[in-house]
Amino acid sequence: MNLIDTVKKNINDINRYKIYEGPTEIEKHDGLKDALNLDCNLYIKREDQIKSFCGNKVRYIEYLLGEYYKGNYDCIIHGGGNTSNYMFQLAVICAELKIPLYLVILNREKYNPSLNLELIKLLGATLYIVDSTKRNGTNAADKDHLYEELISDGRSPYKIEYPFGNIAAYLGYSQTYLEILNQCHISRIAEKFSDIFICSRWHSYVGLKTLALLNDDPVNIHCIQPSHWHGSGLDLIEPDINKFICYKIQEFLHFLNQSVKVNADFIYEQYVGCSYGSANKDIWDLISKVASNSSVLLDPIYTAKAFSGMLNIVKSNKIKSNVLFIHTGGQLNLFSQLINKSEAFCCE
């Protein structure tokens, strides 16, 4: 058994509550390639089709639920921002499985109203809204306080936190990497992908990159950031984003009981634009062009910026081989901004 098969077996032995059977489709988009004047073959992996209105976070949640059902828990605590696709997807799945969900939401007024947040309410999650400016971008203390309240009420909450909150994400996107390998093997793709592009802060990227390193895979995995590192709060831990992500790859390798030379290259911040959550006219034009030539819907906060970055990188580097864009979902943010389109969501 080679190394990647050993790692695959070890990952498959970890508790996972399967929400979907997969794999998500990899589509070849020749019409979109021509419309965008690309010389490479363009493929899109449809993580946005894992579950209605959901996306890549479902892969994380499968491992979190594995831990939930392994323990003697009766509810879940998590937290995120008010545009969080993750929180919405968790609310969908907890509603479906009849798991009481308590969410600490960092309120960023610029992004209100958020369709994600309104739907989370409809799905029955209990929300605790806190002011992000008074929490320095973190909700950890509020989650701890909520945990103690629920314990005192006789509940047994599963609080999603570091480190397994990270590990679950890495495991989820390890499955994505293994899925892509298998799809390349059984499909008509003449050769493996030379480049894979994904919008990721770091979690999904780390899952993909760690498995590629363990597989000695020369594929270039491009991590396009949805927000700037400086001012994120995480930059106080490590100012250099590449070093931070290397630490996270080492964290995952330690969990897997593996060792390999680590690098975290192809990390891009220049496609964020003026700020997280803001999109200029070029991004909206790209969303329209992609939709009208493929029926694929990108969102202005995450996937459209990553797609724009991919186009720039592919053209500037004159890439002519097989390129894969991983569509991580987020269409609710598209609908939200279309409905409430205003200067709050746009920049020049």
Q: What is the distance between the alpha carbons of residues 56 and 85, in angstroms, rounded to a whole number? A: 9
Asked if residue 343 has pLDDT above 50, the reply is: no
Asked if residue 344 has pLDDT above 50, the reply is: no
Asked if residue 157 has pLDDT above 50, the reply is: yes
**Mean pLDDT (whole number) for 33-53:** 95
Please state, in angstroms and as integers, the Cα–Cα distance from residue 48 to each residue in 24, 54, 85, 191, following that order: 9, 6, 11, 25
Contact 75, 150 (CB under 8 A): yes
Q: What is the distance between the alpha carbons of residues 167 and 98, in angstroms, rounded to a whole number? A: 24
**Mean pLDDT (whole number) for 56-64:** 97
pLDDT of amino acid 111: 53
Domains of the chain, with CATH numbers?
Answer: 3-54+173-345 (3.40.50.1100), 74-155 (3.40.50.1100)
Q: List pLDDT tens digits, range 192-242.
A: 899 999 999 999 999 999 999 999 999 999 999 999 999 888 888 899 999
Indicate left, alpha or beta for 280 from its phi (over 0: left) and psi (-120 to 50: alpha): beta
Q: List pLDDT tens digits, range 83-117.
A: 788 999 999 999 999 999 999 998 765 555 567 88
In the chain, % of residues over pLDDT 70: 92
pTM: 0.92
Please state, in angstroms and as integers, the Cα–Cα distance from residue 224 to each residue in 180, 311, 320, 334, 338, following that order: 19, 12, 20, 18, 23
pLDDT of amino acid 329: 94
Helix 164-186 and helix 203-214, axial crossing angle in degrees, nearest 10: 60
Q: List pLDDT tens digits, range 283-337.
A: 999 999 999 999 999 999 999 999 999 999 999 999 999 999 999 998 888 887 8
Q: What is the distance between the alpha carbons of residues 268 and 224, in angstroms, rounded to a whole number? A: 5
- pLDDT classification of 52: cutoffs 50, 70, 90: confident
Q: List pLDDT tens digits, range 131-150.
A: 766 555 578 899 999 999 99
- Which string of DSSP letters, residue by residue, matches 130-197? EEGGGTTT--HHHHHHHHHHHHHTT--EEE--TTHHHHHHHHHHHHHHHHHHHHHHHSS-SS--SEEE
Q: What is the distance between the alpha carbons of residues 88 and 321, in angstroms, rounded to a whole number? A: 36
